Structure 1
Amino acid sequence: MNCKLTRNYIVWTNFPFETSFSPCYTTTLLDLQYIMFISTQVARATLRVLLRQSANTCSQRFASTSKNSLPVVSAGSGETSHLLQTCAKKKSDPLEYENLLQASLGSHVKNSQIVQKLICQDGMVDVTWKDDCTSRYHSKWLWFNCFCSECMQPNSGQKIVKPGNIPWKLTAVNAKEFENDDGAFIEVQFKEVNHIVRLPQEWLKLYSYSTDSLQAKSELKDPPYFTQGPIKAFDYQAVSDTESNHYFEWLHNLNLSGVTVVTNVPTETGASGKVGELIGPVTTTLYGKVSDVVAVENPINVAYSSISLDVHQDLMYYESPPGLQLLHCLRFCPQVTGGESLFIDAFYAAENFRQEHPHHFQTLLKVPATFKKIHFDRDNPAAYLYQRPHITVNSHQKITNVIWSPPFEGPLQVSEELVEPYFEAYQAFAETIHKAPVVTHRMVPGDCLVFNNRRMLHGRNSYELNGGARHFQVCYVNTDDFIQRVQVEHIRRKTGQFAKRVGNQCNF
């Protein structure tokens, strides 16, 4: 296999192994994990070696600032625009994720014949695919996901089979392939009952739960770390066209790097909400839908003063804290000194923390901290109290959630033997965060910072007004609305990619 690295692409030719994509495949670095998933194990291993070998050459676009060589992306690298070009340059689409994901919703779509061999043994179905990968499926798993009209409503894609109607004991005894106008399927019969399970072949492969498949799909959702600026900017009018590539590039970059800035937003009250509504409904919080961030006397929030704000996340005392935060600059007079916005990638900091302090990392996985907002001297009294650990990982040990909000931490309420280990781990994590790379951005009127509140720690330098004014407004959009919109846009554009992990504790 040959690899030619160009300024914008990696071109792979002369593959020594069987793949389902074309003999010449032009790709960005972001596509490599996708290739690893659809290729054979040999292909994945080979591509990983080549990726490591080309890391130095690609350092301007994927830099590593850690001694542990954590992968990093700069939002200013133009990676998303390269992805858009790549989508147009592919000679063939090796896995139609649009079809696969629509199939998972119950849509009737054409899917390809990709099964090489089917075997029923030990009450399970073993599938060998045409790329020589293998998957094994339990009988109950197959029935619980059956596509027949008795089990799934065709139009909605919702299950209608009642769990109690599926036998406790179920043994697959016969499996066969067949094709019709809707594509290629497999049918499975059982020993105990006269019911035939029907599943699309591509859907079945996509949802394979073999160890290799689960690991590969988990890696597809890894976002690159964001540790150096500048923060990529997008024009408000351009992204307002939700059918445009500018809109998709904005969402994709926001999903990758965790922070973007939308420029030329009208400097009028409530405009941040209009930016947010391009993605999803604006969330109503304790502070309303859109709130002002401006220095006042006797502030009810430390943000409503001119002192510096250490990096943190907002509203971590909520059961489901907001996903996206939109911070819109209405006024920022030239004579105002300081007040720059600060960002640290919490995923990057947490991964460094795991590698440098594995024992403390385990402590912060299991000991729940207290987060609170108790304040009655305000128009809208608040009494929020919530316990959760600072860090969460999934079954593949991928970091899925980081919580860091010192201004809103309450008294630790755990068993005595956990108190000292917790504070040792807490202080070590605070040190790691303090040493992490900080991305700084000074707002100008019309800027709207849009960032992932579940991933990016944000703060602010102190400032002096010097006779000027600094007036921001803030609003939030729910994580679920953001991540589903990103995935919808990937499906519509047939990019073959999953939305990246966003820090909402999802186990994928």
Structure 2
Amino acid sequence: MKDTERYPITPDFDGWPVTVPPVAARPEDGALAVEWADGQVSRYHPFFLAENDPSPDTLHPLSRETTLSPLDLPEDLAAVSADIEPDGTIAVQWSHGRAASRFHPGWLRGNGWFGGEPESAAEVLWTAAEQPEPPTFDGPEALRDPALFLAWLTALRDYGVARLENLPSEDGLLIRIAERVGPVRESNFGRMYTLEIKDDPDSNAFTSAALMQHIDMPTRECPHGLQFLFCRGNTTSGGEGIYADAYRIAADLAAEEPRHFEALCDIRWTYNNRSKTSSYKATGPVIERSRTGRITGIRYNTWLRAPLVAPLAEQDRAYRSYRAFTARAQDAKCQMKFAYKPGDLLAFDNRRALHGRNGYDARGGTRFIEGLYSDRDDLHSAIRSLERSLSKGKTS
């Protein structure tokens, strides 16, 4: 059904294609039951429906946000009848004299519960053999073509790291690209930073030394979700980037060393930055999980751990599990290694993709790499917004 304008509005600006039409609708103990053409049945609570009613008395037609308080609804509100209109719109009649509601069938289907957890984008877990280099896209072309830019963002979401190449060395270009994804999130290193050798470094990153695999900002309550590194010039020797998929490392630990995996999920480490001008401190487990057990984030940085204040047995469990994680993170089998070339822009999920580098020799050469941070929810918003706009372009 291409003509979606005939349907009621929805509490968002997304497109809801009607891929499976409704064939029956009826009240069930005050709720709404909808049977679909594929034989599945979904049920909707009366409060769920009333709070998402597309009527202008409930849903602001411009902001698409509800104007209704939960206390505005009768506690025993119930659907008393339901019908399917010729175009598939589902109409519901209410108790208590509440005005009838009409719902977009694609939206109802997309927000129906059919058993199990809602589907989410599946990460592509990888080792060095499976992913020797980041998914790579031509930078100038991606900036011109929204579909290719979307492909880069999708690869970043799925693999945790993705690269644009052949970009010109332009002042401000990194910020312009990052802001197409979302707002830049500042840090104690500023809105943007340059990876340069400092006489008085406030991070190991501002030296020429090798860096072990790590995430940045474990010292923050919510570590920055995305990091962008833009190589504008590099004539030094060494300094290759080293990346590892911490979700794959965690999954392998869960399968092969479950006691260490559980310790990394349970024991909370504290991390603090080492600086003369700031003092950030945050606590969390190395491996974060959702309530369903899905791995959702990593907090791992060997040189920013604060002392672990705990009983001796807990310390032993904590340190042994941390060593097990480090052994895998530093294993060449897990490490994607590549040189930073001028024109490369690396974007990676800072709470998934561990990053490090080989040491480099700056004598007789220059190394100009800019960096900044943003957040993962900006990435997901940008993907959904681009998908929506490209989908509308195809159907208009």
For the aligned pair, the TM-score class normalised by the smaller chain equals 0.7 to 0.9
Give the Å deviation of 1:206. Answer: 0.3
Pairing partner for 1:203 from 100, 107, 126: 107
Give the Å deviation of 1:456. Answer: 0.9
CA contact (8 A) 1:113 1:184 kept: no
Give the Å deviation of 1:107. Answer: 7.5
Residue 392 in 1 paired to residue 288 in 2? Answer: yes
C-alpha distance in structure 1 between counterparts of 2:157 and 2:51, whole Å: 32
Give the Å deviation of 1:143. Answer: 2.0
Give the Å deviation of 1:476. Answer: 1.8
C-alpha distance in structure 2 between counterparts of 1:199 and 1:159, whole Å: 15
Counterpart position of 1:339: 239
Counterpart position of 1:229: 132
Counterpart position of 2:386: 489
CA contact (8 A) 1:99 1:110 kept: no
Give the Å deviation of 1:416. Answer: 7.3
Q: Which residue type is aligned with residue 209 of structure 1?
A: W
Give the Å deviation of 1:295. Answer: 2.2
Counterpart position of 2:271: 371
CA displacement, residues 285-316 of structure 1 (integer Å, 9 cap, x when unaligned): 21112211122333221011111101111112
CA RMSD of aligned residues (A): 3.0
CA contact (8 A) 1:226 1:258 kept: no
CA contact (8 A) 1:112 1:184 kept: no
Pairing partner for 1:277 from 160, 179, 182: 179
C-alpha distance in structure 2 between counterparts of 1:449 and 1:270, whole Å: 16
Question: Is the partner of 1:277 in helix, strand or coil?
Answer: helix
**Identical columns (%):** 26
CA contact (8 A) 1:99 1:109 kept: no
CA contact (8 A) 1:323 1:452 kept: yes
Structure 1, unaligned stretches of length 5 or more?
1-91, 496-508
Question: Is the partner of 1:286 in helix, strand or coil?
Answer: coil
Question: Relative contact order, CA 8 A, sep 6+: which one is greater?
Answer: 2
Q: Which residue type is aligned with residue 369 of structure 1?
A: W
C-alpha distance in structure 2 between counterparts of 1:99 and 1:481, whole Å: 31
Instruction: Provide closer, same or farther for how the CA distance between residues 122 and 278 of structure 1 changes in structure 2, counting only shifts above 3 A.
Output: closer
Question: Is the partner of 2:89 in helix, strand or coil?
Answer: strand
CA contact (8 A) 2:271 2:306 kept: yes
CA contact (8 A) 1:177 1:184 kept: yes
Scaled by the length of structure 2, what TM-score is found?
Answer: 0.86
Residue 300 in 1 paired to residue 214 in 2? Answer: no
C-alpha distance in structure 1 between counterparts of 2:28 and 2:146, whole Å: 50
CA displacement, residues 379-417 of structure 1 (integer Å, 9 cap, x when unaligned): xx2111112222222243222222222222223356777
Give the Å deviation of 1:142. Answer: 2.1
C-alpha distance in structure 2 between counterparts of 1:321 and 1:253, whole Å: 21
Q: Which residue type is aligned with residue 43 of structure 2?
A: R
C-alpha distance in structure 2 between counterparts of 1:466 and 1:391, whole Å: 39
Pairing partner for 1:163 from 70, 79, 97: 70
Counterpart position of 1:184: 88
CA contact (8 A) 1:368 1:389 kept: yes
Residue 404 in 1 paired to residue 300 in 2? Answer: yes
C-alpha distance in structure 2 between counterparts of 1:108 and 1:269, whole Å: 37
Counterpart position of 1:248: 150
Q: Which residue type is aligned with residue 309 of structure 1?
A: L
Instruction: Provide closer, same or farther for how the CA distance between residues 195 and 319 of structure 1 changes in structure 2, counting only shifts above 3 A.
Output: farther
Instruction: Provide closer, same or farther for how the CA distance between residues 143 and 416 of structure 1 changes in structure 2, counting only shifts above 3 A.
Output: farther
Question: Is the partner of 1:494 in helix, strand or coil?
Answer: helix
CA contact (8 A) 1:295 1:305 kept: yes
Residue 476 in 1 paired to residue 380 in 2? Answer: no
Question: Is the partner of 2:85 in helix, strand or coil?
Answer: strand
CA contact (8 A) 1:316 1:371 kept: yes
Give the Å deviation of 1:269. Answer: 4.8
Counterpart position of 1:261: 163
CA contact (8 A) 1:403 1:454 kept: yes
C-alpha distance in structure 2 between counterparts of 1:197 and 1:413, whole Å: 58
C-alpha distance in structure 2 between counterparts of 1:431 and 1:347, whole Å: 15
CA displacement, residues 259-280 of structure 1 (integer Å, 9 cap, x when unaligned): 2222233335544223323323
Give the Å deviation of 1:116. Answer: 1.7
Residue 131 in 1 paired to residue 35 in 2? Answer: no
CA displacement, residues 79-120 of structure 1 (integer Å, 9 cap, x when unaligned): xxxxxxxxxxxxx99xx9x999x8341679885781122232
Residue 141 in 1 paired to residue 66 in 2? Answer: no
Q: Which residue type is aligned with residue 132 of structure 1?
A: G
Question: Is the partner of 2:124 in helix, strand or coil?
Answer: coil
* Aligned pairs (5 A) from 1:324-335: 324-333=226-235
Q: Which residue type is aligned with residue 363 of structure 1?
A: A
C-alpha distance in structure 1 between counterparts of 2:152 and 2:19, whole Å: 33
Counterpart position of 1:438: 335
C-alpha distance in structure 2 between counterparts of 1:294 and 1:356, whole Å: 40
Counterpart position of 1:238: 141
Question: Is the partner of 2:280 in helix, strand or coil?
Answer: strand
CA contact (8 A) 1:323 1:482 kept: no
